[in-house]
Chains A and B, each alone.
Chain A
Amino acid sequence: MPKFTPAELDAHRAKLAAAPRKRAIIKVGLNTCGDAAGALPVYQAAKEALQASGLDAQLVRTGCAGMCGLEPLVEVQVGSDPAVMYGRVNAEAMREIVAQHVGQGKAVDAYRVPSIADMCCEPPTPGKQYRIVLRNCGVIDPESLDDYIARDGYQALKQVLTQMTPEQVIAELEASGLRGRGGAGFPTFLKWKITRASRPGEQKYIICNGDEGDPGAYMDRSVLEGDPHSVIEGMIIGGWVIGASKGIFYIRAEYPLAVERIEKAIRQARAAGLLGSNILGSGFDFDLEVRLGAGAFVCGEETALMASIEGKRGTPWPRPPYPAQKGLWGQPSMINNVETFANIPPIILRGGAWFGAIGIGRSKGTKVFAVTGKVKVSGLVEIPMGTTLRQVVEGICGGTPSGKPVKAVQTGGPSGGLIPASLLDTPISYEELAKLGSIMGSGGMIVMDETDNTVELSRFYLDFSVDESCGKCAPCRIGGTQMLRVIDRVLAGKGTKQDIATIKRIALTMQRGSLCALGQTTPNPVLSSLKYFEHEWNERLVASK
């Protein structure tokens, strides 16, 4: 592929749009989750059926469309008919779909599930999904640069490089109200602005945090696997704005397919002149490299993440100095989360005001959640901020499979908290969730029914955090371990009221005294269980005065 100039990029996109299409398109979701559910034999079956029948259809491997609980997922579009989504497809069903739907134009109702279009709504409406981050997931072939370009890919980069100043980009981000999607919710424009202003002219780094550590959250994996170029485009724009010539993707080693697809996308972008020297003929030089995590939750903390990129143990350092002043290798650095970067190109193309009109209060745009646990349809859900928890859990995800009432929802994973069923009408925003003692977090949302016990779940999270504590500071290292011992005493039926007081005292010490967010937030699941489900603790206590 030749290196694009801006005009050539436009011409290439026009050429792709004008290319003749096959009569039908069959899309098979082949992310890690699809593969696990058996999508590969389905893909093979479709391929063989098409070859045998000679039908005029294109077969595409896509990322995940989001309804992970219904995988393997297959989408079929014939002619100008609306696309039909099929769920729980096996090889035999696939052959039937090819013969009946592709061959005769009649959908196979037995396997039909709601399509992406059925789930989404324009303009954004609470209770319905709205896809900005997931706009291409399950839609394009993630391994095809052309597919991405055809969907306005690298158009935002072109616009930024040819028509905008860095200050204008920052102004658009400010108007958008976008905040960090990794959990903390720091305003993105401010991070970019501060890093741009810091030590001009020196080597700077832009880093993508793909160390998705919350067990129970996998939005970032899905975006990296399903739409790698969108994250890369966001990073290039960020690099240009802050004045960085180098970017680093830090990705969990447990996500081999995400790593493979990002590496492939980087190679494609380089070959097309979208990465490397003189990007799109603008004179801007920027390149990316991938670094793997190695299984350490604390590396989601930005200073620990940078230590890990430097090849060291992932222990955090006290801030200040902030990464914007002294980050990776002591140079100004900026870390954003996968989802944050994926939001950048649409904000540039459609304007900050468009994004800022979605959502409530100081929480703008959409948020992707991985809704799992006791729900009928678990999977990825992207909703406008301000959608209520009930709309997500009972509406979009269909409530519990057993029909039993929801007991609680947990957001924010090991750093978050429980929200009882009585508060499910709370609108989702950074502020509202914090008020309830939980956090937005990176997007894990675990639904519990009444058969689940919150004391045991708290112990599960605490055990995780204790294991993941890096050990550098005492409140986290010792506090977590001691708290776990007390909880085990309670779970063994030997706890007293005094033990509850001890847990709360340790929690306060950890919150106030820990060096980084891991230690500060480790007590959250326990505290929220104590707050909303105190009776579950009291039931286990030895009767005492």
Chain B
Amino acid sequence: MAATAPADVPAIAKKWKDKRGSLIMALHDLQGRYGYVPRDAALELGKLMGVPLARIYEVTTFYNFFKLEAPGKHIISVCMGTACYLKGAPELVARLSEKLGIKAGETTPDKQFHLQQVRCIGCCGLAPVVTVNEKVLAKVKPAEIVDQVYACAKGA
């Protein structure tokens, strides 16, 4: 088995196996546990739930929420909803990209940061909004974003 020994998979499979159409819920649990959907864990889940790996792959690649690779220690999500877009979210992405040396959707080589653009997180009154792990940064200014992100990562 690979690095992600799917120890929790039987419990997740057991929880959802008998509920109709619950593959997406099981995948949410899986991603909640590992931070992404590891291939070996998905394979194991499929065996236990009676779902072919291809079906799991079909579903995980359709939905934006699921990740197929480990996302790095700190996840930086720049909200790209319309309000945030109008209030300068693209510049926030540009600043972070430049500093971290990665594009949106990528992880730094040292696996410390994952930068992503997300759909509206529903805090439009506070636009532009960036989240670092669970912490929400509101009304972010381009000049301050890099420092704020590092401060969050340090505090985490």
Cβ A314 vs Cβ B22 within 8 A: no
Q: Does A313 contact B (CB under 8 A)?
A: yes
Contacting B136 at CB < 8 Å: which of A36, A291, A329?
A36
Cβ A32 vs Cβ B123 within 8 A: yes
Cβ A33 vs Cβ B125 within 8 A: yes
Using CB atoms, name the residue of chain A closest to B135.
A36
Q: With A and B bound together, what is the CA distance between A291 and B19 in angstroms?
A: 11
Closest CB-CB distance, A521 to chain B, in whole Å? 15
Per-residue contact bits, chain A 21-46, to B (CB 8 Å; 1 contact, 0 not): 00000000000110111100000000
Stretch at the interface among A168-176, A213-221, A350-358, A510-518: A213-221
Cβ B59 vs Cβ A372 within 8 A: no
Q: Does B111 contact A (CB under 8 A)?
A: no
Closest CB-CB distance, A361 to chain B, in whole Å? 28
Cβ B86 vs Cβ A374 within 8 A: yes
Cβ B118 vs Cβ A254 within 8 A: yes
Q: Does A311 contact B (CB under 8 A)?
A: yes
Q: With A and B bound together, what is the CA distance between A379 and B122 in angstroms?
A: 11
Contacting B at CB under 8 A, from A214-234, are 214-218, 221-222
Per-residue contact bits, chain B 10-40, to A (CB 8 Å; 1 contact, 0 not): 0000000000111111011000000000000
Closest CB-CB distance, B88 to chain A, in whole Å? 11
> What residues of A have a CB within 8 angstroms of the CB of B119 in the complex?
213, 215, 254, 295, 297
Contacting A at CB under 8 A, from B111-138, are 118-127, 129, 136-138
Cβ B82 vs Cβ A215 within 8 A: yes
Closest CB-CB distance, A1 to chain B, in whole Å? 26
Contacting B at CB under 8 A, from A177-217, are 212-217
Cβ A313 vs Cβ B59 within 8 A: yes
Q: Does A113 contact B (CB under 8 A)?
A: no
Cβ A312 vs Cβ B86 within 8 A: no
Per-residue contact bits, chain B 122-156, to A (CB 8 Å; 1 contact, 0 not): 11111101000000111000000000000000000
Per-residue contact bits, chain A 327-338, to B (CB 8 Å; 1 contact, 0 not): 001000000000
Cβ A311 vs Cβ B123 within 8 A: no
Q: With A and B bound together, what is the CA distance between A33 and B139 in angstroms?
A: 12
Cβ A294 vs Cβ B28 within 8 A: yes
Q: With A and B bound together, what is the CA distance between A106 and B151 in angstroms?
A: 39
Cβ B82 vs Cβ A460 within 8 A: yes
Q: Does A130 contact B (CB under 8 A)?
A: no
Q: Does A75 contact B (CB under 8 A)?
A: no
Stretch at the interface among A147-155, A428-436, A444-452: A444-452
Q: Does B102 contact A (CB under 8 A)?
A: no
Using CB atoms, name the residue of chain B closest to A289.
B19
Contacting A379 at CB < 8 Å: which of B21, B24, B59, B125?
B125
Closest CB-CB distance, A213 to chain B, in whole Å? 7
Q: Does B58 contact A (CB under 8 A)?
A: yes
Contacting A at CB under 8 A, from B28-81, are 28, 58-59, 62-66, 80-81
Q: With A and B bound together, what is the CA distance between A36 and B131 in angstroms?
A: 9
> What residues of B have a CB within 8 angstroms of the CB of A308 in the complex?
24
Cβ A32 vs Cβ B122 within 8 A: yes
Cβ A35 vs Cβ B27 within 8 A: no
Q: Does A310 contact B (CB under 8 A)?
A: yes
Question: What is the interface residue range for chain A against chain B?
Answer: 35 or more
Using CB atoms, name the residue of chain A closest to B83.
A372
Q: Does A324 contact B (CB under 8 A)?
A: no
Q: Does A296 contact B (CB under 8 A)?
A: yes
Contacts A254-B119, A294-B28, A310-B21 given: A68-B125 contact, CB under 8 Å? yes
Q: With A and B bound together, what is the CA distance between A71 and B139 in angstroms?
A: 11
Per-residue contact bits, chain A 283-323, to B (CB 8 Å; 1 contact, 0 not): 00000000111111100000000001111111000000000
Q: Which of A372, A373, A413, A461: most chain B CB closer than 10 A?
A: A372
Q: Does A410 contact B (CB under 8 A)?
A: yes
Contacts A254-B118, A291-B25, A446-B82 given: A36-B64 contact, CB under 8 Å? no
Contacting B59 at CB < 8 Å: which of A32, A311, A448?
A311
Per-residue contact bits, chain B 80-123, to A (CB 8 Å; 1 contact, 0 not): 11110111000000000000000000000000000000111111
Using CB atoms, name the residue of chain B closest to A295.
B64
Contacts A216-B124, A370-B124 given: A311-B82 contact, CB under 8 Å? no
Q: Does A249 contact B (CB under 8 A)?
A: no
Contacting B120 at CB < 8 Å: which of A35, A38, A216?
A216
> What residues of A have a CB within 8 angstroms of the CB of B125 in the complex?
33, 67-69, 71, 372, 378-379
Q: With A and B bound together, what is the CA distance between A444 and B124 in angstroms?
A: 10
> What residues of B have a CB within 8 angstroms of the CB of A370 in the complex?
124
Q: With A and B bound together, what is the CA distance between A38 and B129 in angstroms?
A: 13
Q: Does A255 contact B (CB under 8 A)?
A: yes
Cβ A311 vs Cβ B23 within 8 A: yes
> What residues of A have a CB within 8 angstroms of the CB of B65 in the complex?
253-254, 293-295
Q: With A and B bound together, what is the CA distance between A457 and B138 in angstroms?
A: 22
Closest CB-CB distance, A476 to chain B, in whole Å? 15
Q: With A and B bound together, what is the CA distance between A312 and B54 in angstroms?
A: 12
Using CB atoms, name the residue of chain B closest to A253.
B65
Cβ B85 vs Cβ A460 within 8 A: yes
Contacting B123 at CB < 8 Å: which of A36, A67, A213, A460?
A36
Closest CB-CB distance, B114 to chain A, in whole Å? 16
Cβ B20 vs Cβ A372 within 8 A: no
Q: With A and B bound together, what is the CA distance between A446 and B82 in angstroms?
A: 8
Q: Which of B58, B80, B119, B127: most chain A CB closer than 10 A?
A: B119
Q: With A and B bound together, what is the CA distance between A68 and B83 in angstroms?
A: 13
Q: List 14 A-B contacts (CB under 8 A).
A: A32-B122, A36-B126, A37-B138, A216-B81, A218-B124, A255-B122, A292-B28, A293-B65, A294-B27, A295-B65, A373-B82, A379-B125, A446-B83, A460-B85
Q: Which 9 A-B pairs have the closest CB atoms?
A: A68-B125, A295-B64, A294-B63, A216-B82, A218-B122, A215-B81, A36-B136, A372-B83, A215-B120
Q: Which A positions have Cβ atoms within 8 angstroms of B?
A: 32-33, 35-38, 67-69, 71, 212-218, 221-222, 253-255, 291-297, 308-314, 329, 370, 372-374, 378-379, 410, 413, 444, 446, 448, 452, 457, 460-461, 470
Additional A-B contact list (20), CB under 8 Å, known A294-B24, A372-B83, A460-B82: A32-B122, A36-B136, A67-B125, A69-B126, A212-B122, A215-B81, A216-B124, A218-B122, A253-B28, A253-B65, A254-B121, A293-B63, A294-B64, A312-B59, A329-B20, A372-B124, A378-B127, A446-B83, A452-B86, A460-B85
